[in-house]
Structure 1
Amino acid sequence: MLRMFREPEPALRPSDTSVVVRVPQTAGYRAPEGQSLRSSALVDKPLCPKGLILMCGEMGSLSRDLQDWSNRMRAVVMVVSEERMNLDWLRDQAPRLDFLLVDSDYLDDTESTIDFCMQVRRAVPRLPLVLVSSEVRSHDFTCERMMACDVTLKPPLLHTALTLGVQAAYQNNAYYQQEGA
């Protein structure tokens, strides 16, 4: 029997799907100067395998953007102010976290933001750090700011930019651990 039209595929339930993205394949990967994502060194892997994202900031449009994205990743977002984020607590929690997102616009100024990020970086160098700032011209997925963060994103956070940013953060953090730590 000949069919003229494709039969519709059954609808997928959220529990049937799994978001898979690309992260570094080996710890030995070394990114070229100024380059971040490189497809030849990437393999398929869930983006938020631990299911927990920590955001330093406050509830608002940025946290809603992150929450919307994290729902697709099957992850939970925990929003904490920098005053309540004790570095000892962060060291204890870091193994349970996929990454830390810092809202630069929530913190006082650029200098305070950089100081805060560098303190976090020294306390938990293995935790990927995503900085979000409206002060930057565009997204920066490179290793240029690796002493303070793994990537810098410009709001609003669209799903594609956040996905690419988190992918780059994992890869850049691995590079930082090799070169900068």
Structure 2
Amino acid sequence: MYLMSHTHCWMEAVVFRSWQSHEAPKTMPDSALVVRVPPRDDPPAAEAMSLKADRLIDAPLCPKGLILMCGEMGSMSRDLSEWADRMRAVVMVVSEKRMTMDWLREYAPRLDFILVDSDYLGDTETTIDFCLQVRRAVPSLPVVLVSSEVRSHDFTCERMMACDVTLKPPLLQTALTMGVQAAYQNNEYYNSALA
């Protein structure tokens, strides 16, 4: 498997086991997989804080350092992991069947955002139902939906009842950066509309 041969894979088990033993409840999904753990040496400040060199953002997009992906290991998790490397974040891949809403409610404050793979979930109805459950459980958690069924990326609030942005695979680095940035803004707007 590609990700298991990743140079940082030896750190995955140690850090995940440590994270699980100190923070995760007994109901944490058994199939949770940490895709990448970034090295802990201190990089130059500009690299650690943003993609300022790329002139896309001025602030870190993953300040908490943990991204949850609802899906399975494959090309999408690899694309997300490569992007997460630049953000110094960890990606956890979990099946929707293993992810309880109680667990998500409890640990949402530790997550930067959730990425939902619509193609993994199957039909549109199942995907929308799952996104609505996530939205009801933790409205403050930005939801990035990825679907090959959409014509193009949608960074607007048009689908805000279910998600904050919709991206079309493959997940290119620039599209992910712009999508996550828009997801934070759209989620803030969604929550202000609820108040």
The answer to whether the superposition gives a TM-score over 0.5 is: yes
Q: Amino acid of the residue matched to residue 49 of structure 1? A: P
Q: Percent identity?
A: 77
In the TM superposition, residue 15 of structure 1 has moved relative to its aligned partner by 1.2
Asked whether the 8 Å contact 1:21–1:167 carries over to 2, the reply is no
In structure 2, the residue matched to 1:105 is 119
Q: Amino acid of the residue matched to residue 15 of structure 1? A: P
Task: Give RMSD over aligned pairs.
Answer: 1.7
Displacement over 6 Å in runs of 4+: none
In the TM superposition, residue 14 of structure 1 has moved relative to its aligned partner by 7.2
Equivalent-residue separation in structure 1 for 2:157 and 2:58 (angstroms): 22
In the TM superposition, residue 90 of structure 1 has moved relative to its aligned partner by 0.3
TM-score by length of 2: 0.73
Q: In structure 2, the residue corresponding to 1:172 is in which secondary structure? A: helix
In structure 1, the residue matched to 2:133 is 119
Instruction: Determine whether 1:74 maps to 2:102.
Output: no
Question: What per-residue deviation string (whole Å, max 9, x for no partner) do you get for residues 101-157 of structure 1?
Answer: 000000020000000000100000000000000000000000000000000000000
Structure 2, unmatched stretches of 5+, are 1-40
Instruction: Determine whether 1:20 maps to 2:50.
Output: yes
Q: How does 1:80-91 map to 2 (within 5 A)?
A: 80-91=94-105
Larger Rg: 1
In the TM superposition, residue 21 of structure 1 has moved relative to its aligned partner by 6.0
More helix, by proportion: 2
Higher normalized contact order (CA 8 Å, seq sep 6+, divided by chain length): 1
Structure 1, unmatched stretches of 5+, are 1-12, 23-42
Instruction: Determine whether 1:155 maps to 2:169.
Output: yes
In the alignment of these two chains, the number of paired residues is 149
Equivalent-residue separation in structure 2 for 1:143 and 1:18 (angstroms): 29
Asked whether the 8 Å contact 1:147–1:180 carries over to 2, the reply is no
Equivalent-residue separation in structure 1 for 2:185 and 2:64 (angstroms): 17
In structure 2, the residue matched to 1:36 is none
More strand, by proportion: 1
Q: Amino acid of the residue matched to residue 60 of structure 1? A: G
Equivalent-residue separation in structure 1 for 2:75 and 2:42 (angstroms): 24
In the TM superposition, residue 73 of structure 1 has moved relative to its aligned partner by 0.2
TM-score by length of 1: 0.79
